[in-house]
Amino acid sequence: MLKEWRCTKALRDIKQGKIPNHIAIIMDGNGRWARKRGLPRVAGHRAGMQAINRCLLGLRALEVKYLTLYAFSTENWRRPKAEVDFLMDLPGQFLGKELNSLLENNIKFGIIGDIEGLPAHTQEAVAEGLEKTRKNTGLNLIFALNYGAREEILGAARQLGQLCKNGQLDPQAISATDFENCLYTRGIPSPDLVIRTSGEIRISNFLLWQAAYSEFYVTDVLWPDFGEDDFDRALQNYATRERRFGQVSAKER
Protein backbone atom coordinates (compact mmCIF):
# COMPACT_ATOMS: atom_id res chain seq x y z
CA MET A 1 0.00 0.00 0.00
CA LEU A 2 1.33 3.43 -0.91
CA LYS A 3 2.26 5.52 2.10
CA GLU A 4 2.20 9.31 1.89
CA TRP A 5 5.25 11.26 2.96
CA ARG A 6 5.15 13.65 5.86
CA CYS A 7 4.90 17.27 4.71
CA THR A 8 8.28 18.69 5.67
CA LYS A 9 9.08 22.38 5.72
CA ALA A 10 11.43 21.78 2.80
CA LEU A 11 8.64 20.30 0.71
CA ARG A 12 6.30 23.17 1.58
CA ASP A 13 8.99 25.67 0.58
CA ILE A 14 9.59 23.86 -2.71
CA LYS A 15 5.88 23.79 -3.42
CA GLN A 16 5.84 27.57 -3.23
CA GLY A 17 8.72 27.74 -5.70
CA LYS A 18 9.80 25.74 -8.73
CA ILE A 19 8.41 22.24 -9.11
CA PRO A 20 9.44 20.06 -12.08
CA ASN A 21 6.50 18.98 -14.20
CA HIS A 22 8.31 15.80 -15.29
CA ILE A 23 10.91 13.89 -13.28
CA ALA A 24 12.82 10.97 -14.80
CA ILE A 25 14.88 8.60 -12.66
CA ILE A 26 17.67 6.20 -13.59
CA MET A 27 17.12 3.71 -10.77
CA ASP A 28 20.66 2.43 -10.32
CA GLY A 29 22.31 0.40 -7.56
CA ASN A 30 19.94 -2.49 -6.86
CA GLY A 31 22.63 -5.11 -7.45
CA ARG A 32 25.22 -3.33 -5.32
CA TRP A 33 22.65 -2.87 -2.53
CA ALA A 34 22.07 -6.63 -2.49
CA ARG A 35 25.75 -7.51 -2.73
CA LYS A 36 26.61 -5.31 0.27
CA ARG A 37 24.13 -7.38 2.29
CA GLY A 38 25.21 -10.76 0.98
CA LEU A 39 21.88 -11.18 -0.82
CA PRO A 40 21.07 -12.29 -4.39
CA ARG A 41 20.64 -9.51 -6.95
CA VAL A 42 16.90 -10.13 -7.18
CA ALA A 43 16.59 -9.04 -3.52
CA GLY A 44 17.91 -5.65 -4.62
CA HIS A 45 15.29 -5.40 -7.35
CA ARG A 46 12.56 -6.30 -4.85
CA ALA A 47 13.80 -3.58 -2.49
CA GLY A 48 13.94 -1.20 -5.45
CA MET A 49 10.24 -1.77 -6.08
CA GLN A 50 9.56 -0.68 -2.50
CA ALA A 51 11.52 2.51 -3.17
CA ILE A 52 9.12 3.29 -6.03
CA ASN A 53 6.23 3.03 -3.60
CA ARG A 54 7.91 5.49 -1.24
CA CYS A 55 8.12 8.10 -3.99
CA LEU A 56 4.69 8.09 -5.56
CA LEU A 57 2.43 9.96 -3.17
CA GLY A 58 5.09 12.44 -2.23
CA LEU A 59 5.26 13.50 -5.86
CA ARG A 60 1.49 13.52 -6.15
CA ALA A 61 1.31 15.87 -3.17
CA LEU A 62 3.77 18.17 -4.96
CA GLU A 63 1.65 18.16 -8.12
CA VAL A 64 4.37 16.63 -10.29
CA LYS A 65 2.55 15.44 -13.39
CA TYR A 66 4.98 12.86 -14.84
CA LEU A 67 7.39 10.38 -13.26
CA THR A 68 9.38 8.22 -15.69
CA LEU A 69 11.39 5.32 -14.25
CA TYR A 70 14.14 3.51 -16.17
CA ALA A 71 13.19 -0.05 -15.27
CA PHE A 72 14.77 -2.29 -17.95
CA SER A 73 17.00 -1.29 -20.84
CA THR A 74 17.52 -3.04 -24.14
CA GLU A 75 21.03 -3.89 -22.87
CA ASN A 76 19.71 -5.58 -19.72
CA TRP A 77 18.85 -8.74 -21.69
CA ARG A 78 22.56 -9.60 -21.35
CA ARG A 79 22.16 -10.19 -17.61
CA PRO A 80 21.83 -13.72 -16.13
CA LYS A 81 18.61 -15.44 -17.19
CA ALA A 82 17.34 -15.84 -13.61
CA GLU A 83 17.66 -12.09 -13.03
CA VAL A 84 16.00 -11.21 -16.35
CA ASP A 85 13.12 -13.61 -15.61
CA PHE A 86 12.63 -11.97 -12.21
CA LEU A 87 12.64 -8.49 -13.76
CA MET A 88 10.06 -9.56 -16.34
CA ASP A 89 7.81 -10.66 -13.47
CA LEU A 90 8.10 -7.35 -11.62
CA PRO A 91 5.46 -5.41 -13.63
CA GLY A 92 2.88 -8.08 -12.77
CA GLN A 93 3.98 -8.13 -9.12
CA PHE A 94 3.87 -4.34 -8.87
CA LEU A 95 0.44 -4.02 -10.45
CA GLY A 96 -0.88 -6.98 -8.47
CA LYS A 97 0.01 -5.21 -5.23
CA GLU A 98 -0.51 -1.58 -6.17
CA LEU A 99 -3.22 -1.38 -8.84
CA ASN A 100 -5.96 -0.53 -6.34
CA SER A 101 -3.76 2.18 -4.84
CA LEU A 102 -3.07 3.62 -8.29
CA LEU A 103 -6.79 3.78 -8.92
CA GLU A 104 -7.59 5.27 -5.51
CA ASN A 105 -4.93 7.95 -5.98
CA ASN A 106 -5.80 8.79 -9.60
CA ILE A 107 -2.36 7.65 -10.86
CA LYS A 108 -2.13 6.68 -14.54
CA PHE A 109 0.16 3.80 -15.48
CA GLY A 110 2.20 4.13 -18.67
CA ILE A 111 4.97 2.36 -20.60
CA ILE A 112 7.62 3.45 -23.10
CA GLY A 113 9.86 1.02 -24.95
CA ASP A 114 9.65 -1.97 -27.27
CA ILE A 115 6.67 -3.67 -25.66
CA GLU A 116 6.40 -6.31 -28.40
CA GLY A 117 9.84 -7.59 -27.40
CA LEU A 118 8.66 -8.48 -23.88
CA PRO A 119 7.46 -11.95 -22.80
CA ALA A 120 3.72 -12.60 -23.23
CA HIS A 121 2.97 -12.57 -19.49
CA THR A 122 4.74 -9.23 -19.08
CA GLN A 123 2.80 -7.76 -22.00
CA GLU A 124 -0.45 -8.99 -20.44
CA ALA A 125 0.34 -7.37 -17.08
CA VAL A 126 1.27 -4.10 -18.80
CA ALA A 127 -1.88 -4.12 -20.92
CA GLU A 128 -4.04 -4.61 -17.83
CA GLY A 129 -2.37 -1.69 -16.05
CA LEU A 130 -2.77 0.56 -19.07
CA GLU A 131 -6.44 -0.31 -19.52
CA LYS A 132 -7.52 -0.10 -15.90
CA THR A 133 -5.86 3.28 -15.24
CA ARG A 134 -6.42 4.93 -18.64
CA LYS A 135 -9.10 7.31 -17.30
CA ASN A 136 -6.99 8.52 -14.39
CA THR A 137 -5.97 12.17 -14.63
CA GLY A 138 -3.38 12.63 -11.85
CA LEU A 139 0.28 11.64 -11.79
CA ASN A 140 1.47 9.76 -14.88
CA LEU A 141 3.68 6.88 -13.70
CA ILE A 142 5.69 5.78 -16.74
CA PHE A 143 8.02 2.78 -16.80
CA ALA A 144 10.76 2.62 -19.45
CA LEU A 145 10.71 -1.11 -20.14
CA ASN A 146 12.83 -2.77 -22.83
CA TYR A 147 13.82 0.80 -23.60
CA GLY A 148 16.87 2.11 -25.44
CA ALA A 149 17.15 5.70 -26.63
CA ARG A 150 19.35 4.90 -29.63
CA GLU A 151 16.86 2.29 -30.82
CA GLU A 152 14.04 4.77 -30.24
CA ILE A 153 15.78 7.40 -32.36
CA LEU A 154 16.57 4.90 -35.11
CA GLY A 155 12.92 3.80 -35.11
CA ALA A 156 11.76 7.38 -35.49
CA ALA A 157 14.20 7.92 -38.36
CA ARG A 158 12.92 4.80 -40.10
CA GLN A 159 9.31 5.94 -39.71
CA LEU A 160 10.08 9.37 -41.17
CA GLY A 161 12.12 7.78 -43.96
CA GLN A 162 9.21 5.56 -44.93
CA LEU A 163 6.85 8.56 -44.96
CA CYS A 164 9.26 10.38 -47.26
CA LYS A 165 9.60 7.32 -49.49
CA ASN A 166 5.79 7.10 -49.74
CA GLY A 167 5.60 10.75 -50.74
CA GLN A 168 3.70 11.66 -47.58
CA LEU A 169 6.41 13.93 -46.23
CA ASP A 170 8.98 16.31 -47.74
CA PRO A 171 12.43 15.53 -46.26
CA GLN A 172 13.27 19.24 -46.20
CA ALA A 173 10.12 19.98 -44.23
CA ILE A 174 10.73 17.52 -41.36
CA SER A 175 10.44 19.37 -38.06
CA ALA A 176 11.38 18.55 -34.49
CA THR A 177 7.68 18.01 -33.82
CA ASP A 178 7.47 15.48 -36.66
CA PHE A 179 10.42 13.61 -35.15
CA GLU A 180 9.03 13.71 -31.61
CA ASN A 181 5.72 12.33 -32.84
CA CYS A 182 7.60 9.17 -33.88
CA LEU A 183 9.23 8.62 -30.48
CA TYR A 184 7.91 6.37 -27.71
CA THR A 185 7.30 9.53 -25.68
CA ARG A 186 4.86 11.10 -28.12
CA GLY A 187 2.58 13.43 -26.16
CA ILE A 188 4.80 13.33 -23.06
CA PRO A 189 6.74 16.52 -22.21
CA SER A 190 10.51 16.32 -21.91
CA PRO A 191 11.82 15.73 -18.38
CA ASP A 192 12.67 18.84 -16.40
CA LEU A 193 14.79 16.88 -13.93
CA VAL A 194 16.72 13.63 -14.41
CA ILE A 195 17.86 11.92 -11.20
CA ARG A 196 20.48 9.18 -11.19
CA THR A 197 21.17 7.16 -8.06
CA SER A 198 24.30 5.19 -7.04
CA GLY A 199 26.80 7.88 -8.05
CA GLU A 200 27.35 6.86 -11.67
CA ILE A 201 27.71 9.90 -13.93
CA ARG A 202 26.36 8.77 -17.28
CA ILE A 203 23.00 8.75 -19.07
CA SER A 204 23.06 5.04 -20.09
CA ASN A 205 21.05 5.32 -23.31
CA PHE A 206 18.09 6.95 -21.53
CA LEU A 207 15.94 9.68 -23.15
CA LEU A 208 18.81 11.02 -25.27
CA TRP A 209 16.59 13.31 -27.35
CA GLN A 210 14.19 14.25 -24.57
CA ALA A 211 16.83 15.12 -21.96
CA ALA A 212 18.66 17.64 -24.16
CA TYR A 213 17.81 20.49 -21.76
CA SER A 214 16.98 18.55 -18.59
CA GLU A 215 18.59 19.40 -15.28
CA PHE A 216 20.63 16.48 -13.87
CA TYR A 217 20.99 15.46 -10.23
CA VAL A 218 23.31 12.61 -9.22
CA THR A 219 23.37 11.07 -5.75
CA ASP A 220 25.57 8.34 -4.28
CA VAL A 221 22.51 6.81 -2.57
CA LEU A 222 21.65 3.37 -3.98
CA TRP A 223 18.13 3.18 -5.37
CA PRO A 224 16.68 0.79 -2.74
CA ASP A 225 17.76 3.28 -0.04
CA PHE A 226 16.39 6.33 -1.87
CA GLY A 227 13.68 7.92 0.24
CA GLU A 228 11.90 11.08 1.27
CA ASP A 229 14.94 13.03 2.44
CA ASP A 230 16.81 12.17 -0.76
CA PHE A 231 13.92 13.39 -2.89
CA ASP A 232 13.77 16.55 -0.77
CA ARG A 233 17.42 17.25 -1.56
CA ALA A 234 16.97 16.61 -5.28
CA LEU A 235 13.95 18.91 -5.50
CA GLN A 236 15.61 21.64 -3.42
CA ASN A 237 18.64 21.46 -5.69
CA TYR A 238 16.43 21.71 -8.78
CA ALA A 239 14.68 24.77 -7.32
CA THR A 240 18.02 26.62 -7.27
CA ARG A 241 18.69 26.06 -10.98
CA GLU A 242 18.16 28.73 -13.61
CA ARG A 243 16.98 27.02 -16.78
CA ARG A 244 18.24 29.15 -19.68
CA PHE A 245 17.71 26.84 -22.70
CA GLY A 246 20.69 28.43 -24.45
CA GLN A 247 19.72 32.00 -23.60
CA VAL A 248 21.67 34.53 -21.56
CA SER A 249 21.03 34.41 -17.82
CA ALA A 250 18.37 36.82 -16.59
CA LYS A 251 21.00 38.21 -14.20
CA GLU A 252 23.20 39.22 -17.16
CA ARG A 253 20.57 40.96 -19.26
- 121: CB partners within 8 A, 6+ apart: 88, 89, 92
Q: Report in angstroms the alpha-carbon separations of 106 from 5, 45, 65, 167, 229.
A: 17, 26, 11, 43, 24
The pTM score is: 0.92
Are the C-beta atoms of 199 and 225 separated by less than 8 Å?
no
For the question of residue 28 being annotated catalytic, the response is yes
What pLDDT is stored for residue 47 in this prediction? 95
**Position 194, amino acid:** V
Catalytic residue among 13, 21, 28, 85: 28
Q: Cβ(133)–Cβ(102) under 8 Å?
A: yes
What DSSP character marks residue 30? Answer: H
**Stretch 146-163: mean pLDDT:** 98
How does residue 5 score in pLDDT terms, banded at 50, 70 and 90? low
How far is residue 169 from each of residues 27, 38, 175, 187, 191, measured CA to CA in Å?
38, 57, 11, 20, 28
Q: Is 175 exposed, middle or buried (0-12, 13-18, 19+ CB in 10 A)?
A: exposed
pLDDT tens for 86-118 read 999 999 999 999 999 999 999 999 999 999 999
pLDDT mean over 29-42: 96
* Domains of the chain in sequence order: 21-150+191-240 (3.40.1180.10)
CB atoms inside a 10 Å sphere around CB 107: 24
Indicate if 85 belongs to the active site.
no
Catalytic residue among 13, 21, 30, 76: 76
